[in-house]
Amino acid sequence: MLDITLNGSRRSFTETSLTVAALLASLGYAGKRVAVERNGEIVPRSQHESTWLNSGDTLEIVVAVGGG
């Protein structure tokens, strides 16, 4: 089991480990323009495939929305 905090909510995954890329794919966001921060640090897009998540990680996934 993998327990993470994703955008402020606790989420559990049955996988024991998951890369950022696999997480994005499981959420349906593969290839979408998003940015990811893990435990306060940016995970560059080039490292999504090679960054493994650990239980207890805090992730923020953001997009651009309308604003002034």
Work out the end-to-end distance of the chain between its first and last CA atoms, rounded to an integer number of angstroms. 41
**Residues 49 to 68 in contact with another protein, rule: CB under 8 A:** 60-68
Residues in the chain: 68
Minimum distance from residue 35 beta carbon to another protein (Å): 4
The C-alpha atoms of residue 23 and residue 33 are separated, in whole angstroms, by 14
Using CB under 8 A, pick the residue from 15, 35, 52, 56 that binds another protein: 35
Q: Which residues of this chain interact with another protein, rule CB under 8 A? A: 6-9, 27-29, 32-37, 40, 42, 44-45, 60-68
